[in-house]
Structure 1
């Protein structure tokens, strides 16, 4: 049976951010923490060892695979800061061209620093991702 690797933990979000070596990246992590908390209304929780997640939902695929994941999240990694949004949301593609300097993958958007992006567009991306997941998984166990 599949064992989900990234799970919500009781680790301290503040302690995690305080251990980010790069001072500027640490400052940006705090800015993002405030923005995500304010925009989602959910408290920050650690997911695994390196993802700060906000809210959660339960997903179940047609294959039978199921699990829990944060609605949105951030991770101040060494190279870039990862921002986690919903996969499959076409609205994300509409907002990203207005976002500022970034690269993106399937679920992640990567930035170098907060100064490179439009924070209002970030708030729209966060809100849209939460809305999309709540609509996509209406019977999911949405929790704080």
Structure 2
């Protein structure tokens, strides 16, 4: 009798797949901004401004908030001193609204720029006083900037 052939060696096990690295959380800087516009000589938010700020407040919820800066501006009518105060009241109106939406007051800073940094050159606004007021509407605003970070996986 012949000896039985030796059994074939078992195939080498397939190499284990390389482990997939876990996503690494990375802090990413984010900046959002919004504008809120005001009526002539007023510091009361208009409905469109509230909507813009509502959208901004929703975006903030996904961010590790560092700071919010609300900057108020005016049109060119009136004295420098009066417009400086009015621009601060506009920035404060935005702050109060954002606080009502759950944004911490201690993270919100305000500043007033008065009658500076016009979006519409006052010299280009012609016609009656009413027409000039309408023309300068984009200058009566508060600009809100949000600075923070969010965690993303890369």
TM (normalized to structure 1)? 0.24
Give the structure, 1 or 2, with the largest relative contact order (CA under 8 Å, sep 6 or more). Answer: 2
Q: Which has the higher strand share?
A: 2
Identify the structure with the greater helix proportion.
Answer: 1
> Whose radius of gyration is greater, 1 or 2?
2
